[in-house]
Every structure is written in C-alpha cells, then in structure tokens.
Structure 1
Amino acid sequence: MDYTVLDCPDPAALARFYEQVLGWRTIRAEDDWHVIEGAPGQRLAFQLAPDFVPVDWPNVGVGIHLDLVVDALDPAEEWVLSLGAERVDATPEHPTFRVYRDPVGHHFCLCLRD
C-alpha cells in the first residue's frame, strides 16, 4: 500500500480532522496508526510520534505539505478553520492558494481549482 504518513502525537484525532476536511473514511485504526481513504488508491496515514514538533515556517522552510484543491477558497477556508486549522499566510500576492496549519502543526494549502 502506498500512502503519505504524517507523524503526530494523537493519530486518532488528526485522522478525524482530515476525515472531515477531505470527506474520507477510516480504513485502519490502531493506537499508534490510523489510515483514512478517499477514492481507491488515495490514502493518508497518521503515525504516533509523541515528541512531534512542527516546523517553524517560514523561518525553517515547510518541508512537506499537502495541497488540497477546492472550487472556492472562502467557503473552504471557513470549513477548515471551523475544524481547528489555523491560517498562516494571508499574503495578497497569492490569490490562488492559502496556507494553513492543521491542529498538530502540519502545513497544508487550499489551492483554487483551475
């Protein structure tokens, strides 16, 4: 199985956040490992890492992040903020995407569909 894995202090909680953001479902749930799935082949996993510390973007760089394509930025932003995300880039030079942190501190972007 191929999937992206995010380290986090609480895999169940972060899996629930992304289930709601993406509209996916849990296909595997263990104390230290959760996997959610969308369309066949689209999976995201969450691995227990009690000492996880998010990167200090933009000071250190972002490393890896998720780009989530949306039809409209404002309603998508309202949705992710209501689920516990935090917007970290309000730069007007980027009219087609916005940068956020999930509740643990991983970065993701909402990107406007072409």
Structure 2
Amino acid sequence: MTATANLFAVTIDCPDPTRLARFYQEFLGGQLSSCSPDFVVLTSEHEVRLDFQHVANHQPPPWPDPSAPRRLHLDFCVEDLAQTEQHLLCLGATLAPHQPGGQRFRVLVDPAGHPFCIATTAAAEISGPPVR
C-alpha cells in the first residue's frame, strides 16, 4: 500500500513570527492569521501555506558553511530576477555573500537569517530523467 499525503504547510522557526510573516506577505501576498502570539499563518491562493513559529533560542543557519549541518530553504520562481531582488532588499532581505547561481538564481537572507532563493522560470524547471 502506498501512503498518500499532501504537504499543506512549511513551518519556519524564528524569533518574531509576526515580523517575519509580514516580510513574506509583502513578497508573496496573502492573508495573515494567528493562532497565538507565538504562531502566525500566511495563506494565499497556493496550496502550501507558510507558518511562522516563535523559537526563543533561534540561531540563523550559517550559509554557506560546509561544516554546518544542511537545512531546508525555500525557493521561489519569479518573472524578473533583478526587479524582485531589489524589492526584497527594500523589504529587509539581504543578499547572501556567496552567489552560486550566476544569472539563473539569487540567494537572499530573510530578516530572521534564513537563506532562500529566487529563480527564473528556466532555472526552476525540472530537467533530467525521473529518479528510480
């Protein structure tokens, strides 16, 4: 029997859920709701929502640090890479010092220190045969 599940949310640990949720809302749109002062939800017309959870001892992940454990990061497909990068910088993101993507994608860091990527449509396309 094959298990079937649908991803409905990605939860992001952070020191200030409301602040970080508003950053992503300014970028992605959508509506904010709160289950408690320590947990904020960003919903949109997309199937997967973003949840923001307060963590008192939050430490931003070091990137790119080969000695640090790898963690999850978010990737977003955008129409105009340069324009979106400038918009995100105005919202409070910073450009990561290491940019391995050339003109295909950019690595930015959100206000809580999480790296994330914005990519062109071509860079976001899946290529190659399926994994078996």
TM-score (structure 2 length as normaliser): 0.79
Asked if 1:78 is matched to 2:86, the reply is yes
Aligned to 1:47: 53
Partner of 1:45, secondary structure, is: strand
CA distance in 1, matches of 2:116, 2:93: 9
- The CA deviation string for residues 44-63 of structure 1, in whole angstroms up to 9 with x for no partner, is 00001011001111112551
Q: Verify the 8 A CA contact 2:99 2:107 in the aligned structure 1.
A: no
Aligned to 1:95: 103
Map 1:1-114 to 2 at 5 A.
2-59=8-65, 60=68, 62-89=70-97, 91=99, 94-114=102-122
Q: Verify the 8 A CA contact 1:32 1:48 in the aligned structure 2.
A: yes
Q: Verify the 8 A CA contact 2:30 2:42 in the aligned structure 1.
A: yes
Q: 1:91 to 1:12 in 2, by over 3 A?
A: closer
CA distance in 1, matches of 2:81, 2:89: 12
Instruction: Name the larger-Rg structure.
Output: 2
TM-score (structure 1 length as normaliser): 0.90
| Structure with the largest fraction of strand | 1
Q: 1:77 to 1:93 in 2, by over 3 A?
A: closer
Unaligned runs of 5+ in 2: 1-6, 123-132
Number of residue pairs matched by the alignment: 114
Unaligned runs of 5+ in 1: none
Give the counterpart letter for 1:85 in structure 2: A
- The CA deviation string for residues 39-88 of structure 1, in whole angstroms up to 9 with x for no partner, is 15220000010110011111125511110100111100010000000010
Q: Percent identity?
A: 36
